[in-house]
């Protein structure tokens, strides 16, 4: 389907990718590369943190996706090298036609067909009913999946071909700039027979769950929705072997908390015969062993011992040192493609101390981003000023990264009523009859040196502007839970940016996740307009307006766009990708030994 054009400078990005790759051009002794003391075709992959679960609709963790993408499959995927939308479970990209009459007039119809060969682990075929079940599960108001419902709310019904249960048409009530991607790639297709063994959702019409008001009424009246949600959110379907299964090349074997997650390649996997034509169906390693090692020093030590085959997000100084280390230089290739991602600080705008945008702007002026890039990232990053990646055509270049200026920060604080009245160096203000100092809690993931070092620099520079930063380190799962409950003041975060059109609803719309509490009627209306504007020129102007609004309100403090830093064992063939983590574990292909 040609209706939605991917808006980024693809050729420039590809050139940057290849220019940035720093693999070792030398051919090392084969005996060194292939003598590892463990099975050659088992890939050990390091993760910075452990997934919270392996039930993708219930998680927004990138680590859940990194592991889960080897077990589950989407109708569509992104080619990790060309960054184009390509089919995965579907035989092709959908046929897309406008709907001109009937209850969904003004919308679009997307017709997909699933591969005839696609099967579940019990041997049954993957059909349209499995996709319908997956949507029902996510649209069930009793299931905690608001982030995905924001993407799927435009879907209204599905018609299954009477002669072909694998062919179906998704009906929407509006045009949507990422309609194809949202339908085809937001959620993996899950087997109804496994995740709804009692058929609790089977007789509940998708159209009823797709209508928000009707869905809420159903949730109050139909006990099956609550019963399904209780079952679906149980540990069985998030962590246990018998409850996790998909159509992908790998079977979930085991999960030792804090140690490893093991996936094994399926025997007679249906996608092997199609992998040459559909590359994201491939699964090359016999096993993929994910090792969550949040302590970067421990991770580097493990890599130096040759116990890790793939590692991303390496600390900049370590990245350089590893390339100069005799042992690792002989055994690993190192890559630094530009990363489609960014790092920033979430600001809880509902907090009384942070509800005034002048305070949020003051905080931005109080953070020395160039020092962070130089001291922590070894210069491997650039400042930016918008949630949009700077390489995209619709990035608002009129917005400039806010410079470090503690005096400007103090001026803004004073305008907002924050002045150091007791001469202790920290601004204060009376709030609800009580004198409050501008002391802000800054929650970070424990055990990550880079994050800790950034936090210390933020603390040091902000103090010069009269802002006290109190650092609180927590385990990732605990911090993520706090964040979901909006129990935070400041939280540093990083995001992977997909090479498709920007969909701001999840982050910034009142019907999305909106964890900063930023959403207003004005911003909601602008986002709603963006979502249905298919004209590229008009949409780009709206994109720029939204970026300017976000810049003015400052619910995020922008830090930097980093460069990837990846190490891959030389026995594997791998093409780096700008998409985090920079490689696909299932595509690590063992080289032939001569």
Judgement on whether residues 22 and 168 belong to the same structural domain of the protein? no
Whichever domain contains 425, its CATH number is: 3.10.105.10
The confidence score (pLDDT) of residue 391 equals: 85
Does pLDDT of 291 surpass 70? yes
Does pLDDT of 371 surpass 80? yes
Whether 266 maps to a domain, the answer reads yes
Whichever domain contains 47, its CATH number is: 3.40.190.10
Give the residue with greater pLDDT, 534 vs 97: 97
Judgement on whether residues 35 and 153 belong to the same structural domain of the protein? no
Task: Report which of 168, 169, 156 is spatially closest to residue 106, judged by C-alpha positions.
Answer: 156
Look at residue 496 and give its three-state secondary structure. Answer: strand
Q: Which of 231, 264, 298 is the last residue of a domain?
A: 231
In the chain, % of residues over pLDDT 90: 78
Judgement on whether residues 208 and 331 belong to the same structural domain of the protein? no
The confidence score (pLDDT) of residue 29 equals: 64
**pLDDT (tens digit per residue) in 382-417:** 999 999 999 888 999 999 999 999 999 999 999 999
Straight-line distance from the first to the last Cα atom of the chain, in angstroms, rounded to the nearest whole number: 44
Q: Is the peptide bond before 528 cis (omega within 30 degrees of 0)?
A: no
DSSP strand pairing (566-569 vs 95-98):
unpaired
- 558 within 8 A of 493, measured Cβ to Cβ: no
Whether 504 maps to a domain, the answer reads yes
Whether 78 maps to a domain, the answer reads yes
CB-count exposure of residue 358 (10 Å: 0-12, 13-18, 19+): middle
Whether 169 maps to a domain, the answer reads yes
Judgement on whether residues 481 and 579 belong to the same structural domain of the protein? no
Bridge partners, residue 287, by sequence: 42, 264
Please report the beta strands in 173-286, taking only residues with DSSP state E, as ranges in sequence order.
Answer: 250-256, 260-265
The confidence score (pLDDT) of residue 215 equals: 95
The confidence score (pLDDT) of residue 28 equals: 47
Expressed as residue numbers, the domain containing 524 is 341-562
**Based on the structure, what is the number of domains in the chain?**
3
Task: Report which of 318, 326, 298, 411 is spatially closest to residue 365, judged by C-alpha positions.
Answer: 411
- Chain-centroid distance, C-alpha 104: 31
Whichever domain contains 225, its CATH number is: 3.90.76.10
Judgement on whether residues 220 and 259 belong to the same structural domain of the protein? no
Judgement on whether residues 37 and 147 belong to the same structural domain of the protein? no
Whether 424 maps to a domain, the answer reads yes
- Please report, to the nearest 10 degrees, the dihedral formed by the alpha carbons of residues 418, 423, 424, 428 taken in order: -20
Does pLDDT of 522 surpass 50? yes
């Amino acid at each position: 389907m040609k209706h939605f054009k991917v808006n980024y400078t693809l050729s420039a990005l590809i050139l940057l990718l290849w220019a940035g790759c720093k693999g070792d051009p030398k051919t090392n002794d084969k005996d060194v590369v292939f003598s590892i003391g463990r099975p050659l075709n088992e890939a050990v992959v390091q993760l910075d943190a452990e997934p919270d679960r392996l039930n993708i609709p219930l998680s927004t963790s990138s680590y859940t996706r990194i592991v889960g993408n080897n077990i589950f499959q989407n109708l569509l995927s992104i080619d990790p090298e060309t960054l184009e939308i390509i089919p995965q479970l579907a035989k092709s990209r959908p046929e897309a036609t406008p709907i001109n009459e009937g209850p969904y007039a003004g919308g679009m119809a997307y017709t997909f067909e699933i591969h005839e060969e696609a099967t579940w682990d019990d041997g049954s075929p993957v059909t349209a009913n499995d996709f319908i079940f997956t949507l029902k599960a996510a649209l069930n108001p009793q299931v905690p999946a608001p982030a995905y419902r924001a993407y799927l709310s435009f879907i209204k019904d599905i018609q299954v071909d009477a002669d072909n249960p694998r062919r179906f048409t998704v009906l929407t009530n509006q045009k949507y700039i990422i309609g194809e991607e949202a339908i085809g790639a937001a959620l993996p297709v899950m087997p109804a027979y496994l995740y709804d063994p009692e058929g609790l959702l089977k007789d509940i019409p998708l159209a009823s769950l797709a209508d928000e008001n009707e869905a809420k009424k159903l949730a109050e009246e139909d006990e099956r929705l609550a019963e399904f949600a209780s079952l679906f959110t149980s540990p069985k379907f998030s962590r246990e072997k018998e409850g996790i299964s998909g159509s992908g090349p790998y079977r979930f074997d085991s999960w030792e908390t804090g140690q490893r997650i093991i996936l094994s390649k399926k025997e007679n996997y249906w996608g092997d015969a199609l992998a040459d034509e559909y590359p994201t169906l491939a699964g090359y390693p016999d096993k993929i062993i994910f090792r969550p090692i949040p302590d970067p020093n421990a991770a580097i030590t493990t890599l130096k011992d040759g116990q890790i085959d793939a590692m991303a997000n390496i600390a900049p100084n370590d990245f350089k040192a590893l390339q100069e280390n005799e042992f690792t230089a002989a055994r690993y290739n190192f890559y630094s493609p530009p990363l489609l991602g960014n790092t920033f600080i979430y600001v809880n705008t509902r907090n009384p101390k942070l509800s005034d945008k002048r305070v949020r702007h003051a905080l931005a002026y109080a953070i020395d981003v160039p020092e962070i890039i130089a001291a922590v990232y070894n210069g491997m990053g650039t400042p930016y000023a918008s949630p949009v990646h700077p390489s995209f055509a619709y990035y608002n270049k009129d917005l400039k990264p806010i410079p470090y200026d503690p005096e400007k920060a103090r001026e803004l604080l004073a305008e907002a009523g924050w002045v150091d009245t007791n001469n202790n160096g920290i601004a204060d203000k009376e709030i609800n009859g009580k004198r409050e100092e501008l002391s802000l809690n800054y929650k970070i993931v424990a055990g990550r040196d880079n994050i800790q070092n950034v936090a210390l620099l933020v603390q040091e520079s902000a103090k010069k502007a009269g802002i006290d930063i109190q650092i609180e380190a927590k385990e990732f799962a605990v911090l993520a839970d706090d964040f979901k409950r909006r129990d935070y003041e400041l939280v540093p975060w990083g995001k992977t940016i997909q090479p498709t059109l920007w969909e701001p609803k999840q982050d910034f719309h009142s019907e999305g996740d909106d964890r900063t509490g930023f959403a207003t009627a004005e911003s909601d209306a602008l986002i709603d307009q963006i979502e249905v504007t298919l004209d590229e020129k008009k949409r780009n102007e709206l994109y720029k307006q939204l970026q300017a609004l976000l810049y003015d309100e400052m619910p995020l403090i922008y830090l930097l766009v980093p460069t990837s830093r990846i190490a891959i064992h030389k026995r594997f063939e791998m093409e780096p990708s700008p998409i985090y983590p920079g490689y696909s574990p299932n595509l690590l292909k063992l080289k032939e030994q001569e």
